[in-house]
């Protein structure tokens, strides 16, 4: 680093110390904004991954009444084979005995005292496209249920509810992150503006002795970049701590499927650092252009 570079950094550091309170406020706002942005990236990418996984797992389950005849079950099976919304080869017949075994594995407490098997037969069928699950459901239930069918359950009803909740969370995080990003830019801009006002006599002297515009503006740009870099770096550290401490406690409640995952932490960290530097550059650049007339 040359003499000019060292001088620029020393001037920037001295100015940051002279406006310590506003520097800390700007850095903390960047930290909070980048922390929320990191959470939003993790939540949003995980939700999108889970949504794609859930679409692949969507099924329509047709439950027969316990006394349904073989003819009624076969008639429904033939109807499903001819249905244009059914994925070929996806029709899975579940006998009452197999249904009870599945219940014993999933909910052993509910079936341990049953004197007999109260379940009827069922057919699980997969739509040819995830987007057609509603059409498949309607084609079975409209205008009325086929003879022998007790009810039809659409797996998308559950996924719709979960996705709505996830969407609300995403909207809240998006609004909060946007507000904090704007606040970060304004606080960084205010920090640079105070630095300009406190050093206006020095700036006039530097211009009189022939200092270049780049040399005068450099320290102020470095101040903004410093606030953005430190704030985003701290956000990455806190997110890393949260990943180590909090994630193991909630991971058991999340989907354990290998194809459901959030964006990698290293890529998220790079995005946050880049965003922090961008905020610092924008905040300082706008202020210099408005208040530093050189």
Q: Is the pLDDT of residue 7 over 60?
A: no
What Cα–Cα distance (Å) separates residue 200 from each residue in 22, 84, 100, 192?
A: 18, 76, 82, 12
- Looking only at the bridges linking them, the beta strands covering 92-94 and 60-64 are unpaired
pLDDT band at 29 (very low <50, low <70, confident <90, very high): confident
Instruction: Give the list of residues 6+ apart from residue 198 with CB closer than 8 angstroms, or none.
Output: 15, 18, 19
Among the listed ranges 26-40, 172-186, 188-202, 229-243, which one has the minimum average pLDDT value? 188-202
More confident residue, 70 or 248: 70
- Per DSSP, helices labelled H in 133-212 are 133-141, 156-198, 200-208
- At residue 156 the predicted structure's pLDDT band, cuts being 50, 70 and 90, is low
Instruction: Give the per-residue pLDDT at 220.
Output: 72
Confidence of residue 23 (pLDDT cuts 50, 70, 90): confident
Q: Which fold has domain 59-154?
A: Alpha-Beta Plaits (3.30.70)
Rounded Cα–Cα distance for residues 237 and 35 (Å):
9
- Cα–Cα distances in angstroms (integers) from residue 101 to residues 32, 111, 117, in the given order: 51, 10, 10
Phi, psi of 124 (to 5 degrees): -100, 130
pLDDT, tens digit (0-9, with 9 covering 90-100), for 176-187: 778 877 877 777
pLDDT the model gives residue 145: 92
Query: Residue 78 — pLDDT band, cuts 50, 70, 90?
Result: very high
Beta strands in 78-117 (DSSP E): 92-94
Which of the four pLDDT bands, split at 50, 70 and 90, describes residue 124? very high
Token reading at 134: 């509603």
Main-chain dihedrals φ then ψ at residue 69, nearest 5 degrees: -80, 165
Lowest-pLDDT range of 6-15, 114-123, 155-164, 259-268: 6-15
Tens-place pLDDT, residues 129-149: 877 888 898 999 988 899 999
Kind and range of the H or E element at 125?
A: strand 122-125
Give the pLDDT band of residue 34 (cuts 50, 70, 90): confident
Whether the predicted pLDDT of 258 surpasses 70 = no
Q: From CA 216, how far away is CA 202, in angstroms rounded? A: 10
Look at 180 and 87; give whichever has higher pLDDT. 87
Q: Which of 10-19, 72-81, 237-246 has the highest mean pLDDT?
A: 72-81
Residue 4 pLDDT: 56
pLDDT for residue 168: 75
Q: Where are the domains of the chain?
A: 3-54+160-291, 59-154
Average pLDDT, the chain: 78
The C-alpha atoms of residue 39 and residue 33 are separated, in whole angstroms, by: 10
Ranking 50-54, 160-164, 169-173 by mean pLDDT, the lowest is: 160-164
d(CA 231, CA 32): 8
> Which one has a higher pLDDT value, 69 or 21?
69
pLDDT in tens, 172-219: 777 877 887 787 777 777 776 776 676 667 667 666 777 666 666 777
Which residues touch 165 (CB under 8 Å, ≥6 apart)?
A: none
Task: Classify each residue of 20-40 as buried b or exposed e, where b means 16 or more C-beta atoms within 10 Å of its C-beta.
Answer: eebbebbbbbbbbbbbbbbbb
Distance of alpha carbon 63 from the chain centroid: 36
Q: Give the residue among 10, 4, 28, 23 at the shortest CA–CA distance from 195.
A: 23
Categorize the per-residue pLDDT at 82 as very low, low, confident or very high, splitting at 50, 70 and 90: very high
Q: CB of 19 within 8 A of CB of 191?
A: yes
Phi, psi (5° rounding) for residue 78? -65, -40
């Amino acid at each position: 680093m040359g003499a000019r570079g060292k001088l620029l950094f020393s001037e920037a550091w001295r100015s940051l110390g002279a406006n310590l309170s506003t520097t800390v406020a700007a850095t903390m706002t960047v930290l909070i904004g980048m922390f929320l942005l990191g959470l939003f990236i993790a939540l949003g990418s995980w939700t999108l991954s889970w949504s794609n996984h859930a679409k692949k797992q969507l099924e329509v389950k047709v439950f027969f009444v316990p006394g349904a005849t073989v003819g009624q079950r076969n008639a429904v099976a033939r109807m499903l084979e001819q249905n244009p919304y059914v994925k070929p080869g996806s029709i899975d017949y579940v006998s009452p005995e197999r249904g009870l075994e599945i219940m014993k594995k999933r909910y052993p407490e509910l079936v341990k005292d049953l004197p007999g098997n109260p379940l009827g037969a069922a057919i699980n069928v997969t739509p040819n496209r995830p987007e057609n699950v509603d059409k498949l459901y309607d084609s079975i239930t409209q205008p009325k249920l086929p003879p022998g069918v007790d009810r039809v359950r659409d797996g998308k009803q559950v996924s719709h509810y979960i996705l709505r909740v996830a969407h609300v969370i995403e909207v809240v995080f998006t609004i909060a992150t946007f507000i904090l990003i704007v606040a970060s830019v304004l606080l960084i801009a205010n920090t640079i503006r105070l630095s300009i006002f406190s050093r206006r006599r020095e700036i006039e002297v530097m211009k009189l002795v022939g200092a270049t515009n780049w040399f005068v503006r450099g320290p102020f740009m470095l101040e903004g970049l410093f606030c953005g870099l430190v704030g985003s770096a701290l956000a990455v550290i806190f997110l890393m701590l949260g990943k180590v401490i909090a994630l193991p406690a909630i991971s058991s409640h999340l989907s354990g499927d290998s194809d459901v995952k959030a964006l990698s932490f290293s890529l998220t960290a790079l995005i946050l650092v880049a965003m922090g530097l961008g905020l610092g550059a924008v905040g300082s650049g706008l202020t210099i252009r408005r208040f530093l007339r050189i």
